[in-house]
Chains A and B, each alone.
Chain A
Amino acid sequence: MTSIPLLREREKQIHDKAGGAPFEMACDRHSLAGSVSQRACVFCGSRVVLYPIADALHLVHGPIGCAAYTWDIRGALSSGPQLHRMSFSTDLGEREVIFGGEKRLYKALTELIAAYRPKAAFVYSTCIVGIIGDDVAAVCRRVEKEQAIPVLPVHSEGFKGTKKDGYKAACDALFGLVGTGDTTDIAPVSINILGEFNIGGEAWLIRRYYEQMGVQVVSVLTGDGRVDDVRRAHGATLNVVQCSGAMTFLAEQMQARFGIPYIRASYFGLEDTAKALYDVAAHFSDHPDVRARTETLVREAVAAVMPELRRIRAVLEGKCAAVYVGGAFKVFSLIKALRLIGMRVVLAGSQTGNADDYAHMRALCDPDTVILDDANPLELSRFVVEKGADLFIGGVKERPIAYKLGLGFCDHNHERKTPLAGFEGMRNFAREVHLSVTSPVWEIVKQSSFKC
């Protein structure tokens, strides 16, 4: 297995204690050419953040690929309109590449807005739009005036940075909406939930917790999102930011312009979910009833899932997991959640973590856990085998690595259909891990040849 060589330029993004080196991670950089990064691009970052806004038109300005590959692939649910599940593209051809795509964009926007009557439109720029020099913002302004709905350019040309820059471009577009809606019926004890995308209905679970606590949820950005909710998000008194890599940009902008403070939260695992709710209750400490209701909620919710978690833990105790996902914050939560069901993380990594994130990750992990930034499939394969993982937690691109090498797998990306957030989500997570790790199929595949 050591026959898989590491690329020299990647060595500073891989920390294996076995090497004895001091901890220093060269992260937050462009992926190395030829390394088969698991990351996507700027466009992907923007698409992830804005995708769940269900009553907006999402038009991808470019050749067909970018729109085709992001058609209805995420598990972000809507309780009403489903427009976000359509894939719209200007499908630029050679003609537009030579003569410009502004006319086609204008026509497409006008026609689609007339047909679907969305509450707003987002126009995503893809790579070549930045090269052929279309003035997307000007087209958006014109259509906005003519159609009387917000038409927001998203500057998401794939090559202009990393996925993180795409998050920022999406936040910039969202910020163009925030502050334009009516805030009259918003209570003083109110929040926005940021960075929660309602995968498998997670935003509904979390919203219910807050409502039980007596906290009004003004807007979820962007899970089960609606344009009008985004527009009045500035009426909330606190922003609670999950997936901090994606939406801290927006929280900071809202703090600067509207004076709304923000706190960070994660809803993966019992520990982090409870902490998130208690932190919000603490913010509203002049409403002691909120704190009291939070205590009841957490107590009851934990009690409801613990018996099953204990049963699962008894089976999984001592097993090892590899965790490689997009954002570092999710890794922190997963390390704790896995510990709760008796599992040890032997490989941890993310696509987009920064230096602080990796220092924190290092502190949470065992000393011999290998930590990877922006890893590639060969590195992941080498280390899951070297470290003896029984389970891999990742997304679609990591799944075949796990399965080819005979490991269980849990999909923790946005394509999944199961809610893994909150207290009930922790139970679902434990069930899924158990379901995969305990399959008898792993025993069969270990028998490498016929027994006569």
Chain B
Amino acid sequence: MESDTPCDDGYTLASLVPVVAASAVQNACKLCAPLGASLVFKGIAGGVPLLHGSQGCSTYIRRYLISHFKEPMDIACSNFGEQTAVFGGGANLQLALENVCRQYAPALIGVATTCLSETIGDDVPMFIKTFLAAVPESARPPIVHVSTPSYQGSHMEGFHRAVRAVLGALAQGRGGEATIQVNLLPGLLSPADLRHLKEMAAAFGLQAMVLPDYSDTLDGGQWESYQRIPPGGTPLQDIIAAGNAAATIELGHTLAAERDTAATDLQTRCGVPARRLGLPVGIRHTDALLQALAEISGRPVPDIYQAQRGRLLDTLVDGHKHVNTVRAALYGEADLVAGLAAFMAEIGIHPVVCASGGAGRRLAPVLHQLVPARQHAGMTILEGADFATIEEAVAGARPDLIVGHSKGYAMARRLGIPLVQVGFPIHDRMGGPRLLHVGYEGAACLFDRLANALIETRQAASPVGYTYM
């Protein structure tokens, strides 16, 4: 529905070119830590996230996530008032936990702190202990606490910390029946990606514990009646059994460079060997994941993946001239950028700008391993970057393509460079949760979209109006 007011004439982004500033962040390319933690808790069966902070924290995060996932996103809040900030948040957290239990009957509550509760120094583990002591054991859901002040790291730190906290609190040590054979810690991927990874593990006959698994909770079907908590998610008993698994696969190139992660914790505490791989984006890293699954299961790679791989390679051959030597700018979470860069290296796309809002300082060394040495000189790597900085670099590099989430649209539009939307958030297109990035099929989807964006640009620019391209 278009408006018939003069708004469209004045509606231009051209007058809004950001200027790089040293002391302020302009148009952030990151979100705050509690968002990442909320996403993890949404991926646990019967899980309800509870933010210990102001009402706005949960409401803003809910709205941001809803706009991407288009699913109900109940995130509770202890709702600080002035009194709370002065006297501490114990009473509010207590009440919030009670109310969440009464309304949602959750299987797990994930309490994530915020900058407010961290700054006033609330002792959240103690509050939780007090709460649990007053509740009869039968009515007591497990409560996991994760420290996520928004002044420390980005949403990705919040995400990984929450995964670590959940396993740290719930996974039991060796002993008992090994119901889970492999733990899969995928990182921040789309629901479609999570489904694909689960299918992969199942194809090897492996019982996998995928954490988080919001493939159903945040990409579910229609409801005949309202669900207090959307069905799906990682079953609690699987998380408890994670310490008995034969291996933990943790995905993410830069995460693999971290010393302590959820996977290393499990290795140290329960002796579950950690296999730390890059995101399986593209051929080689999908090969590596399938290889790992083959070794863990003792079974060969199922035929279906040979077929998918064959189709992918055939697609890459068919379209190789569209993409070879093309120059692209990538931005987003460090691990997604690294994964995309690795795939691009396989098809001849030069990642001339690789940017992340996170300041993990792991992206550069990782990219130098993944991208051919001859391209290093022409590659600008930005960490802790905002969109003003990214835009300056992209404007200088003049790539043929920009690849990243919706928040780079204004930049792409100003620079007149096509944007291929991937990752999170997708706020300006349908289907964000269904975008497939991983596996051979994900690579084929990505390849088609990259090549088609280039073809479309050439087609539109041609005065001839070709119907064959």
Given A32-B95, A40-B59, A403-B70, residue A418 in contact with residue B1 (CB < 8 A): yes
Are A82 and B16 touching (Cβ within 8 A)? Answer: yes
Interface segment, one of B147-155, B184-192, B247-255, B333-341: B147-155
**B-contacting residues, A390-420, CB 8 Å:** 395-397, 399-401, 403-406, 417-419
Task: Collect the chain B residues with CB atoms within 8 Å of residue A301's CB.
Answer: none
Q: How far is the CA of A87 from the CA of B222 in the complex (A)?
A: 36
Q: What count of chain B residues pass the 8 Å CB interface test?
A: 87
Task: Collect the chain A residues with CB atoms within 8 Å of residue B120's CB.
Answer: 131
Are A36 and B151 touching (Cβ within 8 A)? Answer: no
Tell yes or no: A153 within 8 A of B by CB.
no
The interface bits of chain B over 64-80 (1 if a CB of A lies within 8 angstroms of the residue's CB, else 0) are 10110011111111111
* A4, A34, A77, A108: the one within 8 Å of B99 (CB): A34
Given A37-B55, A78-B10, A115-B19, residue A88 in contact with residue B151 (CB < 8 A): no
Tell yes or no: B15 within 8 A of A by CB.
yes
* Distance between B332 CB and nearest chain A CB, rounded to angstroms: 14
Are A33 and B31 touching (Cβ within 8 A)? Answer: no
Are A115 and B60 touching (Cβ within 8 A)? Answer: no
Task: Collect the chain A residues with CB atoms within 8 Å of residue B31's CB.
Answer: 64-65, 68-69
Interface segment, one of B22-30, B273-281, B455-463: B22-30
Tell yes or no: A39 within 8 A of B by CB.
yes
Are A201 and B226 touching (Cβ within 8 A)? Answer: no
Given A68-B31, A91-B24, residue A400 in contact with residue B66 (CB < 8 A): yes
Tell yes or no: A111 within 8 A of B by CB.
yes
Task: Collect the chain A residues with CB atoms within 8 Å of residue B64's CB.
Answer: 69
Are B50 and A63 touching (Cβ within 8 A)? Answer: no
Tell yes or no: A364 within 8 A of B by CB.
no
Tell yes or no: A92 within 8 A of B by CB.
yes
Q: How far is the CA of A89 from the CA of B31 in the complex (A)?
A: 12
Tell yes or no: B97 within 8 A of A by CB.
yes
* Distance between A2 CB and nearest chain B CB, rounded to angstroms: 10
The interface bits of chain B over 106-134 (1 if a CB of A lies within 8 angstroms of the residue's CB, else 0) are 00000000111001100000000000000
Q: How far is the CA of A218 from the CA of B450 in the complex (A)?
A: 50
Q: How far is the CA of A32 from the CA of B62 in the complex (A)?
A: 17
* B3, B10, B30: the one within 8 Å of A64 (CB): B30
Given A34-B50, A400-B71, residue A44 in contact with residue B99 (CB < 8 A): no
Are B151 and A97 touching (Cβ within 8 A)? Answer: yes
Task: Collect the chain A residues with CB atoms within 8 Å of residue B13's CB.
Answer: 82, 85
* Distance between B6 CB and nearest chain A CB, rounded to angstroms: 6
Chain A residue nearest to B410 (CB atoms) is: A72
Task: Collect the chain A residues with CB atoms within 8 Å of residue B82's CB.
Answer: 159-161
Q: List 5 A-B contacts (CB under 8 A).
A: A36-B74, A64-B28, A77-B7, A130-B85, A404-B71
Interface residues of B (CB under 8 A from A): 1, 3-7, 10-13, 15-16, 18-19, 21-28, 30-32, 34-35, 50, 53-64, 66-67, 70-82, 84-85, 92-93, 95-100, 102-104, 114-116, 119-120, 149-152, 154, 222-228, 407, 410
Known contacts A30-B79, A31-B79, A91-B24; 8 further A-B pairs (Cβ under 8 A): A41-B59, A63-B150, A80-B10, A82-B15, A204-B6, A378-B103, A397-B62, A399-B70
The 10 closest A-B pairs by CB, nearest first: A41-B56, A34-B99, A65-B32, A34-B96, A201-B7, A201-B5, A158-B54, A108-B24, A69-B60, A107-B23
